[in-house]
Amino acid sequence: MNFTRRETLAISGAAAAATLLPYNLMASTPDLIAGITGGAEASGEGISLTAPEIAENGNTVPISVDAPGAVAITLLAAGNPTPGVAKFNFGPGSGSQNATTRIRLAGTQDVIAVAEMADGSFASAHQTVKVTIGGCGG
């Protein structure tokens, strides 16, 4: 790919601006949710996200999501260098649409869960987790 001088300047300028922003401004929660739902409205009902309010160690933060009737749940961390965390897919044999895992968080930020229901609708929940020591290798 060839860049003109003007494009190169614009790209480096944008990159510099992005690095200067604090973590929680890098990706906004509504934008991330819209990215998963494809712009569709996500209701706040029918999904619960369990995360600690304060996590001492950002390397292992226990997270649990529960969304009865969901076919998939996507977990996002708004303030991580890459916001995607995991996507849980529930097959027909799953007993309840509930999963628990441990995630890494770079700093204090919003953790977001977006559930895709069997009828194609979406539900989302988010919670702010305070992180004392970040978990992304500095």
Partner 1 sequence: MAKGVKPRVKVPKTAAAGDTITIKTLISHKMETGRRKSKGKLVPRMIINKFVAKFNGKEVFSTDMHPAISANPYFSFYTKVSESGTFEFSWTDDKGKTVKASRKITVK
Contact set with partner 1 (CB under 8 A): 59-61, 77, 80-82, 84-96, 98-105, 135-138
Q: Which is nearer to partner 1, 38 or 138 (CB)?
A: 138
Q: Are 109 and 24 in contact (CB under 8 A)?
A: yes
Q: Which is nearer to partner 1, 44 or 95 (CB)?
A: 95
Q: Which is nearer to partner 1, 5 or 75 (CB)?
A: 75
Q: What is the nearest approach in angstroms of partner 1 to the Cβ of residue 135?
A: 8
Q: What is the nearest approach in angstroms of partner 1 to the Cβ of residue 85?
A: 4
- Exposed / middle / buried, residue 3 (Cβ in 10 Å: 0-12, 13-18, 19+): exposed
Q: What is the nearest approach in angstroms of partner 1 to the Cβ of residue 9?
A: 26
What is the spatial distance between Cα 102 and Cα 120, in angstroms, rounded to a whole number? 27
Bridge partners of 12, per DSSP, are: none
DSSP 7: H
The C-alpha R_g of the chain, in whole angstroms, comes to 17
Q: Which is nearer to partner 1, 10 or 87 (CB)?
A: 87
